[in-house]
Amino acid sequence: MEKTKQWGWSPQWRKCCRGRKRKNTLHPHKERQHLPVAAEQNRQRWLFAVYKPPGVAWNRVRDAVETRLLRELNAAPAWPPRSRIRFLPAASAGPPGLVAVRVPVLAEHRLVRGPRFTQLKIGAGHRLDVKASGVFVLGVGHGNKILSHLYNCHLSKVYTVRGQFGKATKDFSDTGKLIEKTTFDHITREKLERILAVIQGTNHKALLMHSNIDMKTQEAYELAVKGLIRPMGKSPPIITAIRCLQFALPEFQLEIHCLHETQQYLRKIVHEIGLELKSSAVCTQVRRTRDGVFTLDDALLRTQWNLQSIQNAILNCQLRVKTEIEKTMSHWDGTCAPGGTSTSPLG
């Protein structure tokens, strides 16, 4: 076939070459359809939960985990440095000339190169303020993207909240500036539970309103069966369930299931409960016991913030995270995504 002077090959030959598919010469045994599966498995391995103690800021907890991981990763045995062939002069006792010698590449030695890891990208999930404690979700590497997808699922969180009747403070906590003292002998558990029922009923109406769902449709029934009735956008704090766990005047303990809340909002709820009961109340403890699929059993204590424990926690939680994201996105992608396009993180 003749070559052209300007382009080198004839247009017919170039057209023929463009139509051919190139083979994967690096990994010819790997099929293209296997790549998304491997990528999906990688994306699911970087979420875990730790237990945040009270009195510590959330960013200090994150930094402590990062520091511990960096220390252990850099202390792990490293690959030996590469070697190269150098031609050195022969020993004086032998014949003159050059001898091929294999020597290590000193530029790759740990003492020359320095620490292998200097920074880890660790992201925080739903944050806890300084006074609160409980389950605190973190993501490493690609887990930061999974954190955002998990956040968009708008999963409920569970708190145990302790309160004390008889006094009110400026910030609704027991450590705030005291405003007033009141009596509380007239309060009973039955009166408290009636107030809780009113709060739950009011918030249930708000939940349906912000979910933007017609409750008379088949779609609403299917969502209710799957437990997916919840606002999938911005909304005010919503309490989906509230009940009394303990009652021993002047102290009481509540379990609160909620969405889009802050810990200060929960303290304000305790304050308002005291007002409704013709008294006053302060919040003495806010403790998160569940954040979506993560529970207290999944949260690593301070002594467990090490590489091996975090690896085990990631493996234990990855299937639940994947299942919850797929369950939520499988319905809401078609109804909430612009143009009906899929926004699932799992491809």
Burial (CB < 10 A; 0-12, 13-18, 19+), residue 282, is buried
CA–CA dist 6, 84 (Å, integer)? 44
Is 129 a known active-site residue? yes
CA distances from 48 to 41, 57, 141, 236, 304 (A): 16, 18, 12, 27, 12
For 130-214, where are the alpha helices, taking DSSP H only? 143-152, 189-211
Please state whether beta strands 167-169 and 178-181 pair in parallel, antiparallel, or not at all (unpaired). Answer: antiparallel
The answer to whether 207 and 230 are in contact (CB under 8 A) is yes
CA 17 – CA 12 distance, rounded (Å) = 9
Rounded-to-integer distance, Cα 320 and Cα 136, Å? 16
| Catalytic-role residue among 63, 129, 297, 298 | 129
CA distance 70 to 307: 9
Q: How large is the C-alpha radius of gyration of the chain? A: 30
Residue with tokens 């020597």: 103
Helix/strand number for the chain, H first, E second: 9, 13
Contact call for residues 230 and 204 (beta carbons, < 8 A): no
Tell me how long the chain is: 347
Specify the amino acid at residue 317.
C
Amino acid at 234: K
Interstrand relation of 294-295 and 299-300 (parallel, antiparallel or unpaired): unpaired
Residues carrying an active site annotation: 129
